[in-house]
Each structure stands twice: as C-alpha cells, then as structure tokens.
Amino acid sequence: MERAAILGVYDFIGYSLCKYMLNDGVEIAGVHIASKHDKYFTEEKRMEIGRNANFSEISFKEWQATRTNEHMIISLYEQFNQDWMIEQYLNGIITKLENMDYSNQTLILILPAHLALKHEKLTDSQLELLRFIEKVNISILEIYLPTIYGPWQPEEYFFQQSLNYLEGESSIPVIAKWEWIHDALYIEDAVETIMELAESGKDGKYFFASGKTNLWRSCANELLGKQTELLLRKADRTPEINELIKVKILKNNEKISMGLKKQKEQYFRIMESKG
C-alpha cells in the first residue's frame, strides 16, 4: 500500500492508523471530521504528524469533491457512538462511496463492536450505512472493535474517565451504554492487526477479540482497585455476534499494566501541556 486516505484521521483509531502507516512510508491524505475536542486535542495530534512530508490534511468537503484513487480507510468507531455526528456526515460518506472506483482500491470500514451483535437495535443512521454496504457490489474489509485503550483514548471511555477521576479532574466515571465491557484491546495491537488484514488483500467481516476472559474488567481493576466493583454495572455474558462475522483473535496482547502505563504517561503529558 503506497497511498491511502483516512476518514477521521484525528479520531482515536484513525490517528493511530495514520501514525503506523506514515512510519511505514505510506502517503496519507487525512480527512478531518470536526468534533468537540478540536480546540485542543486535534492541534496536539496535528503537531505530531503535520511535519511528515507524506502527510496532507483535507477537509470533509474537499474529500467529497476530490476524485479518489487511493485506498480508503473509514474510521467510524467513535462517530457511531455519537449519533449526532454520524447523522451530520452520513449522506456525504454514502455519496462518496457510491462514486468511488474500486477496481484497484481497498475499502476498510472500522466500526464499534455493538454493531456486530445479532439482535442489536440500531439507529436510523447506523441502519442506513450498513444497508448501503450490504447492497453495493464491492469488496469491503469490515472490522468491529471492542473497547480500545491506550494513548489518546477518548474522554468518553471509562478508562480515560477513571484517569480524570483519580486526578480530581472529573466526577465518578460512568460507563456509557455503548461501551463494550466484555473485552479490551491495546491500540497498537489492534492497529497492527488491521494493517495485517489490509495488506493481505482479504475482505469480509471481522470481530477483533483478545481471546482472554474479563480483560476489560481487569483493566478497570488495574486503574481503580477496590473501587471498581462499586462503579461497574453488572456485565451479562458476552452477547451473541452475528454469524456472518468472523471472530479474529489477536496474536499479540500488550500486558495490561504496560498498556495502561502508556495511556497514563500520555494523559499526564497532555495535562502538563494544558497547564
């Protein structure tokens, strides 16, 4: 892969994929989707990758108007958890996909785990995109991710909330209804596996999993200790995944203590830079 466009380049997954690919010498066109974190976090990320000669940033409108001839990665891992945002951009995404030439391109779609559930109640916007994907006659690599943790985890997620709570920066952490509490993967392990599948030329639907029991809860325990049980809702058994989606057990799983240490270190760097 020599060139790629990443929609959601400053999102958690998109940004990590971008850094990984830039390190491999891939030329990246980063499509920026505005969010409420733009004022600070986007600028920090922009400073990290903006100096790389292989990186160029374009707006969503520019991306819509540009004829695409590179591989496309669409990261909706966060957007589908913030439905107001996906509603804002959905029509533009579908129109762009309808007009793409897929003869020599790869399309990779990254989605949150709950969209892979067999009996999940989906919003209108979620259904609209998934139905579009089903009816188009193109090869797509669909990847469904559980909770991903590590540097730059969004503030809405329980582990990042816990760091804010422990430092007295926020109230008691709350688990969002969409957060996947049945498993967790470290960001670099997830990104590496995404790229392995992409480079292999495979298409299909894959649900990433650690292959370990209670990994999400183990991460929460590592952060909060005895407070964990007081804060967590009861976790039912892992819900049933759609049978058309293959479960992909990751070969590598970062040690929880090391992965959370890296998340903490980045958290404190940001806190220090914000003053």
Residues 6+ apart with CB under 8 A from 210: 146, 183, 184, 185, 249, 250, 253
Amino acid 84: pLDDT:
52
CA distances in angstroms from 4 to 43, 62, 72, 92, listed in the order given: 22, 15, 6, 19
Residue 1 vs residue 161, higher pLDDT: 161
- Categorize the per-residue pLDDT at 101 as very low, low, confident or very high, splitting at 50, 70 and 90: low
Model pLDDT for residues 37-80, shown as the tens digit of each residue = 556 688 889 988 988 999 999 988 888 887 766 788 998 888 77
For 60-160, list the strands marked E by DSSP.
Answer: 71-75, 107-112, 140-145, 147-149
Report, in angstroms and rounded to the nearest whole number, the Rg of the chain calculated over CA atoms: 18
Say which amino acid occupies 196: E
What mean pLDDT is reported for the chain? 85
Amino acid 275: pLDDT:
64
Asked whether 192 and 20 are in contact (CB, 8 A), the reply is: yes
Q: Which two tokens stand for residue 268?
A: 């404190």
The stretch 245-264 carries a mean pLDDT of 95
In the chain, pLDDT over 70 holds for what percent of residues? Answer: 86
Amino acid 236: pLDDT:
59
What are all long-range contacts of 95-100, with beta carbons under 8 Å and residues at least 24 apart? 95/64, 96/63, 96/64, 96/68, 97/132, 97/136, 98/136, 100/68, 100/72
SS (H, E, C) 134-154: HHCCCCEEEEEECEEECCCCC
Amino acid 168: pLDDT:
85
Quickly name the fold that domain 3-153+182-213+240-253 has: Rossmann fold (3.40.50)
Out of 89-98, 211-220, 238-247, the most confident range is 211-220
The reported pTM is 0.90
Asked whether 147 and 179 are in contact (CB, 8 A), the reply is: yes
Model pLDDT for residues 131-179, shown as the tens digit of each residue = 777 776 667 899 999 999 999 999 889 999 999 998 888 788 888 888 9
Is residue 233 over pLDDT 90?
no
- Categorize the per-residue pLDDT at 83 as very low, low, confident or very high, splitting at 50, 70 and 90: low
Amino acid 44: pLDDT:
87
Which residue ranges make up each domain of the chain?
3-153+182-213+240-253
Amino acid 139: pLDDT:
75
Residue 191 vs residue 227, higher pLDDT: 191
The stretch 90-119 carries a mean pLDDT of 80
